[in-house]
Amino acid sequence: MPDPANCFCLWAEVDLDALARNVRQLKAFLGSAKLLSVVKANAYGHGAVPVAAAALAAGADCLGVSSVVEGVQLRRGGVDGAIVILGHTNPWDAASIVEHRLTPSVTTKQLALALACVAAPQGRDLPVHVKVDTGLNRYGLIPEDVPAFVGFLQGLPGLIVEGVYSHFATADETDKAYAHRQLEAFVAVCRLLPDGICRHIANSAAVFDMPEAHLDMARPGIGIYGLYPSTTVGRRLKLTPVLSLKALLARVFAVAAGAAVSYGRTWVAPRPSVLALVPCGYADGLPRSLSNRGEMLVGGRRAPIVGRVCMDQCVIDVTDVAGVAPGDEAVIIGRQGDDEITADEVAEWAETIHYEILCGLAARVPRLYRQNSQWMHNSTLLD
């Protein structure tokens, strides 16, 4: 594949070597606990199938998605590892789950019965995980209901209770008191269950900051993409961000002092200025809240976004960058020269979290995959 800078106007580079290094480091850090690699939401925007395959190849024990359709997408893409569905499933998706060998979370008798009705006649033993709500107050059974429900599942033909799990509300905060209460509640309910059920509760934040929460398996998401969950979580590994977002300048033009830029004329040139058009807008995942706030790297320097971010394009001020020409590369997320703009920094400008920036990368942005230090393949809207 030729250099991406000759192929596209706007593209995301996904470094699968960095991903593999992150997974291997997390795996080593976890020791004997298994690693479930969370690849929901199109692998946090990175591309579900290539990321899932690379994570398994690097030693992840299984994968986590949010829904049946995300699991089916992986199977259609040829991914063969165990896939745990971490979200709610409707009973009418039971046949699809069994057909695609997905591992659902089960919290209702309706779903359990529907799964048993499909799996048992086929002579299958479908592994399922039971989600416990220990204080996030979102999805899952209250701890008091878990032992009886697990007993009910074990009485059904065709199902095997493989795992039991919960999820933290505040593991990424400095004060871990609430997280420890959740962990205690979870461990307490696990003690009432038969031996041999895989217990898991740790997200990335707990992987790094709460080794006592690793239990039998951990479920890092953001960490495998090379980012820490929050500014306060301990930087215990040398993670590398996996995704960069780049564009080629489509136009470079001079304006006089007093010229106003983009919709609403919210930025007025304070001096004669050199501006550059970037073919990236909010429909690509560049938050509109970066209007007159964000920055990009051009020629190794920071160029501010001026005026409103539009649907498909935005304008940056390159007056202070020497010799900028159309076709030069603008880095929206990633490194250029000695500087780096991280997804965290973009999220700060947008007053959100880096998770949302990554997941918000639109399908129309081509993803270019690098593996074994080579450009391997790309995925575009036309695939």
Residues that bind ligand PLP (CB under 6 A): 38, 40, 86, 167, 203-205, 219-223, 229
Smaller CB separation from ligand PLP, 211 or 304: 211
Smaller CB separation from ligand PLP, 220 or 226: 220
The yes-or-no answer on residue 40 being catalytic is yes
Smaller CB separation from ligand PLP, 205 or 368: 205
Number of residue whose CB is nearest ligand PLP? 221
The yes-or-no answer on residue 228 being catalytic is no
The conformation of residue 116, written as its DSSP 8-state character, comes to H
CA-based nearest residue to 23, from 65, 64, 54, 66: 54
Distances (CA, A) of 307 to 260, 264, 328, 331, 359: 8, 8, 21, 18, 25
- CA torsion 236-297-42-131 (nearest 10°) is 40
CB of 352 to ligand PLP, least distance (A): 15
Q: List beta partners, residue 8.
A: none
- Rounded Cα distance between 321 and 299, Å, is 7
Smaller CB separation from ligand PLP, 74 or 86: 86
CB of 61 to ligand PLP, least distance (A): 14
H or E stretch at 164: strand 159-165
Pick the catalytic residue from 34, 40, 176, 246.
40
153-190 burial: b if 16+ Cβ within 10 Å, else e = beebebbbbbbbbbbbebbbbeebeebbebbebbbebb
- Rounded Cα distance between 88 and 112, Å, is 12
Smaller CB separation from ligand PLP, 119 or 179: 179
Q: Find out whether 330 and 316 touch, Cβ atoms under 8 Å.
A: yes
CB of 74 to ligand PLP, least distance (A): 16
Smaller CB separation from ligand PLP, 133 or 317: 133
331-343 burial: b if 16+ Cβ within 10 Å, else e = bbbbebeeeebbb
CA-based nearest residue to 318, from 333, 334, 308, 329: 329
- Neighbouring residues of 348: CB distance < 8 A, sequence distance ≥ 6: none
CB of 239 to ligand PLP, least distance (A): 12
Catalytic machinery residues: 40, 263
